[in-house]
Amino acid sequence: MLLPQGRGGRQHEAMNDRARVPVPGPSPYQADLLVTVARERTILSSGFLAGLCVFFAPLAILACGLLAAYVASLVNEGQDSIVGVGRPLTRADFRAVFAPAVDEAPLLLSAGLLGVLLAQFRRWLFLHAEAADLAFGRRPFFREFAFIYGLLVSLALGVAATHGGWTQVERLLRGAPAFLLLMLCATWLAQAVWSYCFRNIIELLASGPEREAAAALARPGRRLKTRGSHA
């Protein structure tokens, strides 16, 4: 025969039920939550460094291609090679890979500033999103893509105007269909590189209180109640 449980028994069962509830682990999208709670300098620094990474990414790919061609020329010395360059590679070839970082310093700075603008725009988007969506990796992708697209088109027109004047701008406008399609590809690549670098850099630069605030947002039922930076 079952005896009625007293108050202590009911409390004991409630404690056991709570103990059986799995404790949520850290969100794999904590970097997105950090954007909403991190300090302004953390956001700006991460965006700037990620913008520089976008500038150096194609240069690094070119450097890897030159190294592959150099290794292929050593392995297939005296024979035809698919990746051969037709002439011996010199130190000048490798120095020229990263020469734009010095010769085009204004463009390098522009890439960093565009990264700052994109970081601020992402922060604004995330502050108007639900914390649960960010905790599960759901973010406004297409609005950010359109913003990057506008930035890159403006940058390309600005570079054309400063380097070739109005004549160069007219050439781009005459080839507008191909130019705009090329900008779509460049936007996709830039967004992928910038997002990857930004997520890793902000996690590296975030302080302890910022990480704790981001972890608190990942708990069920939490909402973004503030519109300012984390103190």
Assess whether pLDDT exceeds 80 at residue 221.
no
Widest distance between CA atoms in the chain: 97
- Reading phi first (left if > 0) and then psi (alpha if -120 to 50, else beta), residue 75 is in alpha
Average pLDDT of the residues in 174-193: 92
The long-range contacts involving 134-143, CB below 8 angstroms and separated by at least 24 positions, are 134/29, 134/32, 134/33, 134/36, 134/217, 135/27, 135/29, 135/32, 135/33, 135/217, 135/218, 136/27, 136/29, 137/28, 137/29, 137/32, 139/32
pLDDT value, residue 230: 44
- Tell me the range of 2-16, 108-122, 123-137, 159-173 where mean pLDDT is highest: 108-122
**For residues 88 and 204, which has the higher predicted lDDT (pLDDT)?**
204
Assess whether pLDDT exceeds 70 at residue 149.
yes
